[in-house]
Amino acid sequence: MARRKKIYEGKAKVLYEGPEPGTFVQYFKDDATAFNAEKKDVIEGKGVLNNRLSEFFMIGLETIGVPTHFLKRINMREQLIRQVEIIPLEVIVRNYAAGTMSKRLGLEEGTRLPRPIVEFCYKDDSLGDPLVAEEHIIAFNWATQQDLDDMVALALRVNDFMSGLMYGVGIRLVDFKIEIGRLWDNDFQRLVVADEISPDSCRLWDIETGQKLDKDVFRRDLGSLSDAYTEVARRLGVLPSNATHMPKPTLIN
């Protein structure tokens, strides 16, 4: 069998050429990194959980009419996605202050924001993904004003969907990051949610106890990352098909 062509390898995922034109296979690794890859580890099973969780969120978004790059799950670690042109921006939505916003503005983590706030960071590891203003985005041609308006609208819809979903299982969606891609249909472009949505890219706190159930567990050495992600998956009813769910083998006579 011919080896698959690797298109791109990032910190947590690998993209391979897909079986049909216009598709990629997205492979979820177990690698965890933080602080621009200064802190690294391998968390067994993280890739499997994030593959399932991202699938779950993307299918839900599609169901309510938010377009995504997701096509179907292939196996425990891989999903088939549409090939999109990634806009080089991280779109962050915040409902409560935390992380870099708390540091930048001196706000206590957990402070409720007056409304969801959308921020853009320029995707460039060598610069540490700096926060940028809409002025930079338009002046440097990373996106148009129309794209920006569409990106904000898309990000806020994702926020409403994810906040409600998480609230239903006793989790507060503090903030999250998405990436958005352009999907071309001749000269017509559509913006779709791309990359992944998982506890790697969200802040998720238990509503009752405040316990962190996201990548901050790894960033801040707060315990087992796989236990935290498994808890999110369990509450949402999304768990990888594992031994506990496998039917018993039957004897073939």
Applying CB under 6 A, the residues found at the interface with ligand 5GP are 90, 92, 98-101, 129, 175-177, 200-203, 215
Q: CB-wise, 125 or 184, nearer to ligand 5GP?
A: 125
Q: C-beta of 127: minimal distance to ligand 5GP in Å? A: 12
- In the complex, residue closest to ligand 5GP by CB: 99
CA separation for the pair 81, 181 (Å, rounded):
12
Contacts of 196 (CB under 8 A, 6+ apart): 12, 13, 26, 28, 50, 54
Q: C-beta of 21: minimal distance to ligand 5GP in Å? A: 29
Contacts of 16 (CB under 8 A, 6+ apart): 4, 5, 6, 7, 24, 25, 27
Q: CB-wise, 17 or 206, nearer to ligand 5GP?
A: 206
Q: C-beta of 39: minimal distance to ligand 5GP in Å? A: 13
Which one, of 139, 123, 141, lies nearest residue 131 by Cα? 123
Q: CB-wise, 34 or 251, nearer to ligand 5GP?
A: 34
Which one, of 156, 169, 197, 171, lies nearest residue 60 by Cα? 197
Q: C-beta of 92: minimal distance to ligand 5GP in Å? A: 5
CB 32 within 8 A of CB 52: no
Q: CB-wise, 202 or 233, nearer to ligand 5GP?
A: 202
